[in-house]
């Protein structure tokens, strides 16, 4: 599986902290640490959320600030309204394998799912005005029938990403390469997770060739451009003074955002 670079901002105080982080990541891939800048980059095949857990096991806070080259991100169930509000939350990231050709690394973690398999699809629209029901159909620029990620481009929707598996805690952690999608084609579209497993177009009925009998869309998010490696140097929000380290514990907006923890 292809390696990509992942960049974290990490709270470190000198080389002793850096050495602890380096030891925590010793089996993760090629690691570079700039202790003065609080920057850790890893060329890796592991999911980014696993790397973050390893860093934070050293007692340091870590925030993902860069992912691959041309990159996009979808925050699952960040609809901003009560439509389709569920306990399911997560983040998916897409990183281009090369600058000018299709192919992406899909890297994600989703919590709150029922244990087992759930379908994962890119949809044609980034419209969440009616929750996950306003996303349109699967992204399908070739007009192909529904299939699975291992099918040829003419035998699958471009947005057919197969299934993710949730463990007994309801968490799905995954990382895979899709050869059909291109980052620049999916920004502004959406991704959705379904209640049931996708039969990958092999169900033997007409619905299988439309959506894989995957059931209702239970979680979704808009795909937006995200920072690549060395593109995000923010440590504090100029609008309200919330630091990078505290921002993940704050509301996205509103009067409570700028209050001290």
Is a pLDDT exceeding 70 seen at residue 243? no
For residue 33, what pLDDT band results from cuts at 50, 70 and 90? very high
Tokens 């050709």 label which residue? 101
Q: What is the pTM of this model?
A: 0.72
Which of 125-134, 164-173, 212-221, 251-260 bottoms out in mean pLDDT, i.e. has the lowest? Answer: 251-260
Mean pLDDT across the stretch 241-246?
Answer: 42
Whether the pLDDT of residue 45 is over 90: the answer is no
The 3-state DSSP class for residue 125 equals: coil
The secondary structure of residue 180, as a DSSP letter, is: S
Q: What is the pLDDT of residue 235?
A: 45
CATH code for residues 4-67: 3.30.70.100
Q: Is the pLDDT of residue 117 over 60?
A: yes
Nearest CA among 241, 203, 245, 219 for reference residue 120: 219
- CB neighbours (10 Å) of residue 111? 15
Separation of alpha carbons 94 and 72, rounded Å: 5
Rg, the chain, Cα only? 19
pLDDT, position 217:
93
The CATH code of the domain at 72-226 is 2.60.40.200
Q: Could you identify the residue written with the tokens 């919590």? A: 111
Q: Which residue has the higher pLDDT, 237 or 216?
A: 216
pLDDT at 229 over 70: no
Cα separation of 100 and 102, whole Å?
7
Other Cβ atoms within 10 Å of 65 Cβ, number: 24
Domains of the chain: which residue ranges? 4-67, 72-226
Burial of 13 (0-12, 13-18, 19+ CB in 10 A): exposed
Residue range 129-182, pLDDT digits in tens: 888 999 999 999 999 999 999 999 999 999 999 999 999 999 999 989 899 999
Residue 30's pLDDT is 93
Residue 225 to residue 51: CA distance in whole angstroms: 22
Phi, psi of 198 (to 5 degrees): -85, 130
């Amino acid at each position: 599986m292809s390696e990509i670079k992942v960049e974290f901002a990490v709270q470190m105080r000198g080389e002793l902290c850096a050495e602890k982080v380096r030891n925590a990541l010793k089996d993760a891939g090629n690691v570079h640490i700039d202790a003065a800048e609080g920057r850790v980059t890893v060329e890796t095949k592991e999911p980014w959320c696993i790397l973050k857990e390893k860093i934070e096991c050293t007692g340091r806070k870590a925030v993902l600030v860069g992912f691959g080259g041309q990159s996009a991100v979808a925050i699952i169930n960040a609809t901003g309204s009560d439509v389709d509000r569920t306990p399911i939350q997560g983040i998916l990231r897409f990183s281009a394998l090369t600058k000018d050709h299709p192919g992406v690394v899909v890297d994600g973690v989703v919590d709150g799912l029922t244990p087992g398999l759930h379908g994962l699809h890119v949809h044609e629209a980034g419209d969440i005005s009616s929750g996950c029901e306003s996303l349109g159909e699967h992204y399908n620029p070739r007009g192909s029938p529904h299939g699975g990620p291992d099918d040829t481009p003419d035998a699958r929707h471009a947005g057919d990403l197969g299934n993710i598996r949730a463990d007994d805690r309801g968490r799905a952690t995954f990382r895979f390469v899709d050869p059909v999608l291109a980052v620049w084609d999916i920004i502004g579209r959406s991704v959705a997770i379904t209640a049931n497993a996708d039969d990958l177009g092999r169900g033997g009925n007409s619905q299988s060739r439309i959506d894989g009998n995957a059931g209702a869309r239970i979680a979704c998010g808009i795909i937006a451009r995200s920072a690549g490696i060395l593109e995000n140097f923010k440590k504090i929000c100029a609008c309200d003074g919330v630091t990078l380290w505290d921002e993940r514990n704050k509301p996205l907006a509103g009067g409570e955002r700028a209050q001290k923890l």
